[in-house]
Each structure stands twice: as C-alpha cells, then as structure tokens.
Chains A and B, each alone.
Chain A
Amino acid sequence: MKKFGGKAIFLDRNDINTDEIIPAKYLTEITKNNLREHLLEDLLLDGRNFNAREEMAEAQVVVTRQNFGCGSSREHAVWAFEVNNIEVIIADSFARIFRQNMFNCGILAIELDKKDIERLFNLSGDVEITIDLDNQLISARVNGADQEAVQCDFEINPFDRDLVSVGGWLAYAAKKY
C-alpha cells in the first residue's frame, strides 16, 4: 500500500467550496498539471486572501473543518491538490462528491471527530502527519520530535480502502464490472 503523510497545512474555516479550491475559469484546462499554480486561488480565510503558493509550498497534508469541498462537482479540485503533492485531506466532514472524488483518485479524504480535529488545530509549530492505513491511525509530530504530539484513530470504509489500494475507481471498476 502507498505511503501517505507529510507536512501539514491548516485551513481554519468551514464550508471551503470547490470554486475557491479551483475557480471555474481554469476548467478549460485539459491537463491536470496546468491547475498546479491556481490551487486555492480564491480562498478567503478570516476575510484575508490566502497566498496558497507560498503557504502551501511544502505541504502534503491538509487539515480543515466542516463540509470541505462543497459546491461544484469538479474533480479539478482534487487534481489541483494532487498535482501539488497533497494526497491526504483530514476534515471534520466532507461534501459527498469531493470525498468520493478523492477516493476515486486513490487518495485519502479522512473524517475525524470534531475533538480530534481540534487537537490537531491546537498544535503549534511545524506539524508532520503520518497515516497508518493498516491500523487506521493518524500520528502528528511537532518540530521534528520523535514523540507523537497527537495520535488518533480514524475509520475508512473497506470499499474506499480498496480504491486506495488499487489506485482508484476506474482501475477497480474496469476489472470488476
């Protein structure tokens, strides 16, 4: 099974929608790589514009709040993360289509309890998150420490897990149906 994890970025807002993740004007692109520099271009956090290219340059994991990825069905939103090496999004909850698009691409949309999300948000410093898919365990370390600052369980639907292990829904369906 592929390894997931890395440096975390925190997006502290509910209801971040797919128009904010990738504005519709870029939906005319027909290669995923062309989406790279437009990730989260229209995001407003606390009323300020978010400079994604700078703030997310090293990130491989996103931690966020409720209803992440609501709105348009555009899978471009998932691809925009994917081409920026972000293959794990951890949230309080997801919009259905966005969550399904993540697993369909063989990458992770993990829902955690509100209190566990809060524990992650309470960490300060550089946060590194590793995902142990076999044991369904998330570990967060701060500023390069060996010891975990936060560790928590998560649940993944066995079907979603199979999608991740075969690399996505097309590969799965082409073989099975």
Chain B
Amino acid sequence: MGKTIAEKIFAAHLRDTPAPDTMILDLDVVMCHEITTPIAIMDLMDKGMDAVFDNTKIKAVIDHVTPAKDSKTAMQGKIMRDWAKRHNIRDFFDIGANGVCHALFPEKGFVRPGYTVIMGDSHTCTHGAFGAFAAGVGTTDLEVGIYKGVCSFRKPETFRITINGQLSKGVSAKDVILAIIKKITVNGGTDKVIEFVGPVVDAFNMSERMTLCNMAVEAGATSGICMPDRVTAEYLWPFIQDNYTTVDDAIAEFAKWHTDEDASFVEQLTIDVSNLVPQTTIRYKPDQVVDIESLPETTVDQVYIGSCTNGRIEDLRDAAKILQGRQLAQGVRGIVTPATPQIYNMALEEGIIKVFMDAGFCVLNPTCGACLGMSSGVLAEGEVCASTTNRNFNGRMGKGGMVHLMSPLSAAAAAVTGRITDPRNLLED
C-alpha cells in the first residue's frame, strides 16, 4: 500500500506511538510569535524548564502588534526579546526586520519539503505549500515543542482535492480556496490533511500555493499540503544551492515525498475552476461564500489589504492593477500592510506603494494588525470591511464589525467603488 505525503513525513519523524492512532513527531522547525509564546516562556520559567531543544530550529518574530501599542504588548515583545537573547536564538526578527510570520519565514527559506513545523498560530498550515507538514498548535504544544522538540498528532488522514481547469482573468487563488471551503464547510477538513493537487496547483506560484494552504484551517484541516516540485525548488534555490548540484537534482530528491499512486485517501474531491467567478464571504463563517456578482449592493467603510493570506508582493501587484489611476471612493478608508520588509521594498521599487498612496491608501508597516482586531485598523460597531484576510468571525476585526473576505483584486475593486464589486468589471482587457 502506497503512502501519502503526510504519511511519509510522519514516518520519517516518528519518535513514539503512545496509543494506536497517536504519533509523537520530531520537529524540524518551531516558530514563535509574541502573542502565544510569552505565556509559554513564562510557564517554562516557572517550572524550571527554561531551555530550548535546539536554538537553530526555533524561529521567532514579533508580528501581531508591532510597533507595540501599549504597555501590555510592549511587555510581550520584551519577554520575546529577552528569551531570544538568553537562548541565543539567531533567527529572531524584531522591529525593522519583522513581518507577518507566515510570509516572513518562507522568504527566509526556513521551510523545506518533508519538514515538520509547528507554531502557536492556526495559519501555520500555510507552510504546507512547500510540501511540509505544518500545523497550528496551542501554547502547551508550543512549550513542549520549544523544550523537547516534539509534538503529538493523530495518525494523518488525507483529503485529496484535485483542482482542474483554467482560471479566468480576475479570478485568483483566494477565490479558489473560498469556493473550496464553501463546498466542504468549516469542518470538512477536521483532523485531516488537505492535499491540493492538479493542473491548477501545478501552475500556481508559491505565493498562490501559500494562499491555498493558508485557509485549509478554515475548513478545519490540520495542514494544507502541496507536492514539492520545480516551482518549490526554484523558490528555495537561494537557500538550498549548496545542497544540490542543479535545480533538477533538488526536484528529483523532493519527489521522494510525493504521494504514491496507490496511496489511500479518507476523502477526495475534484473541482473544475474554469467557470469560477470572484468570491466573497457573507455573515460570520468562512464557508458562507457567494459569487460577488450575485451579492446585493453592499457598501464598505474600510478596505484592508495584507495578512498571511494575501499580503505578498503578488497580491499587492494585483491590487495595484485596479488602483492604478483610480482613487478610493468617497468615505472609504484604505489600509495596506505589505507582509514583510522585503515585500515592502519590492513594492516601493516597483512603484506599487506610490499607486496605493496616490489612490489614498494608508500604508502600514508589516504586521498582522487589524486582521485579528488587535491594532492598526480595528472596526467600529456597524462598520463593514472588504478584506484580503482569512476570518470573518463575529467581532474578528472589532466588536460589531462585519468582514467580507475576498481576493486582493476584489478588495481593490471595493476600495475604488465603495461597494463590493466584481473586479473583472475594472480590469483592462
């Protein structure tokens, strides 16, 4: 019987099987940010366990609220800084070098095919785009990860989603994942690894694959995962060129992780995206998704472009296609946060920041910010936001606010029209 990529990764990292379907895995990367890590650090200190299993495998960043907005967030940052210094954690990214964790760590080359990755953050599944098993965990799992380098998981069951067809102009990876979540619902992936395959995924760049895997958790999945291939190898090449003679050698080696043809899946779904149109969420659950063209007129107060889902350079380029030569609609506030300093720099050099500013956007530093309603663009009661983020839960961006999730193209279209708008109407042929 063949194995899935997740089963191969589990087998290669298995430390212990304390119960028939429970597996303790060795971890290759433990990622940390300042919201869920400080409590872990303080608890380890309290218990006399203030140690790290391997300081080269711990990657840390201050990203959720940066710069600190008050004394409490300043203290969270300080606890991280002191801890990184105490344990000589070299890969620690503080203000000036920091960015949204799931955008920053990939661009540093920290995630490789076949790796096991955890973080105290549910969107850790993003890193599955590299052919890794990457799962969000709570603070106790994070503590054990930091201290012992292991984490427990149930035996991985795989849900394979095959994406066929050809995306139309104006339709993007975000629309694909929203359509998938609508179809399989918010718990359709619970306790499963969602494997994304098919010609559409093969043609996606890493940014698009990350958008796809990022929202696997909105369907309840443990990890999203894509097969590592030429796209993966070329993205990682600056970091792996000492390990392989050529990109083709890397691709050949990565192929060992690929799901076998005779592997078994707990569930399979094939979708064709050729007729897919731009999507948005309505109400408070990420599976409440509709075609934008079918939505009754919905005006917006704020447009937010950023986050681990859609704050990468490709996303900003998409938004700029619509914003170029246009202005924010009367009364609409526009906020953009390039997800990392590198992305910010690229956007500056490409003239994209100027496009945003000329349109009337506020350009923020890289941060998670308003995505989770902690800072930098929180909504007032009754306000509506068109957002490129990942969650439309009640209160998510501020108590009493309404969040509509959509692609960067669609968010930019809402920005210039003042209402949720099909971006295809604004794209030049």
Contacts and interface: CB of A to CB of B under 8 A. Distances in A.
Given A27-B374, A30-B39, A173-B150, A73 B122 contact: yes
Given A75-B138, A177-B150, A170 B143 contact: yes
B268 to A, nearest CB: 20
B139 A19 contact: no
Interface residues of B, number: 57
Contacts of B152: 100, 159, 169
A71 B391 contact: yes
B79 interface: yes
A2 B38 CA distance: 29
Contacts of A15: 186-187, 285
A73 B75 contact: no
Interface residues of A, number: 44
B150 A157 contact: no
A95 B75 contact: no
Contacts, number: 144
B122 A28 contact: no
Contact of B395 (A42, A96, A104, A157): A42
Nearest to B41: A30
A158 B152 CA distance: 13
Nearest to A19: B393
A19 B372 CA distance: 9
Given A19-B394, A20-B394, A67-B187, A25 B373 contact: yes
A24 interface: yes
A137 to B, nearest CB: 20
B186 A23 contact: no
A95 B144 contact: no
B148 A173 contact: yes
Contacts of B16: 176-177
22 contacts: A15-B187, A15-B285, A17-B393, A19-B396, A30-B42, A32-B39, A42-B399, A71-B122, A72-B122, A73-B120, A73-B136, A74-B35, A97-B136, A105-B140, A157-B22, A158-B19, A159-B152, A170-B49, A170-B144, A173-B144, A174-B49, A177-B15
A108 interface: no
Given A20-B395, A67-B190, A73-B136, A157 B19 contact: yes
Contacts of B186: 15, 67, 70
Interface in A30-69: 30, 32, 42, 44, 66-67
A168 interface: yes
B76 A157 contact: no
B372 A72 contact: yes
A177 B148 contact: yes
A15 B139 CA distance: 22
Contacts of A93: 187, 190
Nearest to A67: B187
Nearest 4 A/B pairs, CB to CB: A75-B138, A101-B138, A104-B140, A159-B19
A30 B79 contact: yes
Interface in B174-227: 186-187, 190-191, 220, 222
